[in-house]
Structure 1
Amino acid sequence: MKKTLLTVSVALALSFSVQASTYDDLIQGAKLGDVAEIRTLLGRGASADTTDIEGNTLLMLAARDGHGDLVQLLINHRAKLNARNAAGDTALALAALRGHLRVVQLLTDAGASQSVPGWPPLVYGAFGGHRQIVTWLLGKGANIDAASDNGMTALMAAARGGHIDIVKDLLKAGADTTKKTDAGQTARDIALGNNNTDIASLLGSR
């Protein structure tokens, strides 16, 4: 009986060790964009929706760091496109914030939503000054006046960062200049508060 219990204990310990090793390999592989490693692990039955301790899925980790080929692999393995991490961000939002246009394109073409609660990808793209991403997301049906949890729109985010070309694009596309944050600030107020007087003047003329 003791030998049987010992055998079972050893088997369980080995099983947990293998699982832990696989988990570590998945997370590290996603961060490095190691397509071959992730493909092998998925082929062995690993979940494409494995998450790290902060709730980041493999897709989020790959999207955040711009690993387009790995993003495509995970999409092909039906990874959850609209999962949110502990901060409330999706893979698409993280890619937009970091300026990874190809990844944004892959995710939106695969059906990733732009209207998941939290900070909209369009706001993140504008905040980061990523004009091509803003243009792409608008072309994919983004709500131009969608706001973050504190009421910040893409126009406000661009005004804050001094990204005048994005401000002009958003105005041309019909962005609402009268929207206010939870603190009661408009895009013009935010521009002035950040010494972006050229943008403030542009917004004031509207």
Structure 2
Amino acid sequence: MSVRVRFQERPGITYVPSSRSGNAPLLADIISKPMPQLYPENKYDMDACTAASIGDLEVLKKLLRINPNTMVSKNQTGWTPLLYAAYLGHNSVAAFLLDNGAQVSENVDDSTNGRWQTPLMMASACGNLNVVRLLLERGANPKMCDKEKRQAIHYAASCCQNVVVDTLLAAGCDPNAADSHGTTPVHEAAIAGHEVTFLSLLEKGGNVEQKNSKGENAAVLGCEHNRILQIISDHQAETAKQAPQAISGNRGPRSLSELLEEMELGKYSEPFKNENVDLEVFFELKEQDFKDMNIPYGPKKRMLDVIKRYKTTGVIRSDTFDSNQSSSTSPRGYSSHPEDDNGKMTDTLRSIRDLNQETKTFVMNALENLGSGDINKFVVIT
């Protein structure tokens, strides 16, 4: 530990006389000054924490014979020999300590430091895989928390230790476990920008939408890492393909007929049954498929809108359908076009635009025919 000395006043300056001045030579003058006392190395006794930190197993064996309690004693900073061995990756030392009284129990007074950090947390942060496996085999609890409610998997994820993350996930750790700030291992990997660790967490059920106490999800926390953002986008798209999301409450439609009933289009179930179209196939249909089944324009348009929204977002909103609306109009809370939710053109404006375009085309054709003098090309509309 370094020590700072504050002088009450500026210290004095000693000038060494030059050998050229005719005084004693410079070297002789220095030697004549009092020197600090020197001690041999064997004068100092090594403690168990120091021996564990440098991996000196022989010293630990000697200390064990002198006083077995030194294997579990804490130093002034609250660290045990096992914490040092785990932190610095001395597997054989860690095994020796565990065989001679060191604990990996859930009692924070025995096996942790002042921040309640466990040997497993220390080994996980540093990627000491062999020590991690040893501690787990000896009964270390992978879900034990420190004072900030951080588990070993938080430490491993934040330090990009993907192999350790895989080991801890296999031991039952939750990729979505939140600490006192709502931060999860998924968040830690996103912040670190380590895509391999991030992918491992997602494969075991990691939630990219879960937010911390500040309302930040993985995309926000990993915004500086383009590869993380791409993984999130790909993951969301893959999730959206797996199954339709909930239409009402938290339960999705169990069948196509149920979906059509929710849309108040149940009377159109028969054509789909005749073509052996189930719920999964329904979301792969194209406009021509609906024409071939003679589905009228209004219902066809609504069904295509639902398919488009599902393919775009993977979500069918719970307030999508309104029993007070007819089948030819857009359902409550769900515009006919997904882009309308972003403030773009409504159905009415879109119809006006199409009508104006048709009128413009007709007028241009009429002017062109007038210019050519071919009156027979006019079409009278009544």
User: TM-score of the superposition, structure 1-length normalised?
Assistant: 0.83
Q: Give, as a single letter, the amino acid of the residue that structure 2 aligns with 1:104.
A: V
- Deviation at 1:204? 3.8
Question: Is 1:52 matched up with 2:75?
Answer: yes
| Structure 2 Cα separation of the partners of residues 161 and 59 of structure 1 | 28
CA contact (8 A) 2:91 2:130 kept: yes
Give the SS at the match of 1:144: coil
Match of 1:104 in 2: 132
Matches within 5 A, 1:47-86: 47=69, 48-82=71-105, 83-86=111-114
- Deviation at 1:104? 0.6
Match of 1:138 in 2: 169
Question: Is 1:162 matched up with 2:193?
Answer: yes
Residues 112-134 of structure 1: CA distance to partner in whole angstroms, max 9, x if unpaired? 01122222111111111111101
Match of 2:122 in 1: 94
Match of 1:40 in 2: 62
| Structure 2 Cα separation of the partners of residues 74 and 49 of structure 1 | 8
Match of 2:355 in 1: none
Q: Give, as a single letter, the amino acid of the residue that structure 1 aligns with 2:117.
A: D
Tell me: higher relative CO, structure 1 or 2? Use CA pairs within 8 A at least 6 residues apart: 1
- Deviation at 1:167? 1.0
| Structure 1 Cα separation of the partners of residues 141 and 177 of structure 2 | 13
| Structure 2 Cα separation of the partners of residues 180 and 143 of structure 1 | 15
Residues 142-199 of structure 1: CA distance to partner in whole angstroms, max 9, x if unpaired? 122222332221111111111111111111111122222222211111001xx11221
Match of 2:153 in 1: 122
Q: Give, as a single letter, the amino acid of the residue that structure 1 aligns with 2:172.
A: G
CA contact (8 A) 2:144 2:152 kept: no
CA contact (8 A) 2:211 2:217 kept: yes
Match of 2:301 in 1: none
Q: Give, as a single letter, the amino acid of the residue that structure 1 aligns with 2:97.
A: L
Aligned length: 183
4+ residue segments displaced more than 6 Å: none
- Deviation at 1:69? 0.5
CA contact (8 A) 1:123 1:147 kept: no
Give the SS at the match of 1:134: helix
| Structure 1 Cα separation of the partners of residues 135 and 159 of structure 2 | 18
| Structure 2 Cα separation of the partners of residues 55 and 146 of structure 1 | 27
Match of 1:27 in 2: 49
Q: What is the root-mean-square deviation of aligned Cα atoms in Å?
A: 1.6
Match of 2:280 in 1: none
- Deviation at 1:54? 1.8
2:211 is matched with which residue: 167, 180, 193? 180
In percent, how many aligned pairs have the same letter? 26
| Structure 2 Cα separation of the partners of residues 133 and 97 of structure 1 | 9
| Structure 2 Cα separation of the partners of residues 170 and 143 of structure 1 | 9
Q: Which has the higher helix share?
A: 1
1:198 is matched with which residue: 182, 202, 227? 227
**Which structure has the larger Rg?**
2
| Structure 2 Cα separation of the partners of residues 57 and 148 of structure 1 | 25
5+ long unaligned stretches in structure 2: 1-43, 106-110, 237-382
CA contact (8 A) 1:120 1:147 kept: no
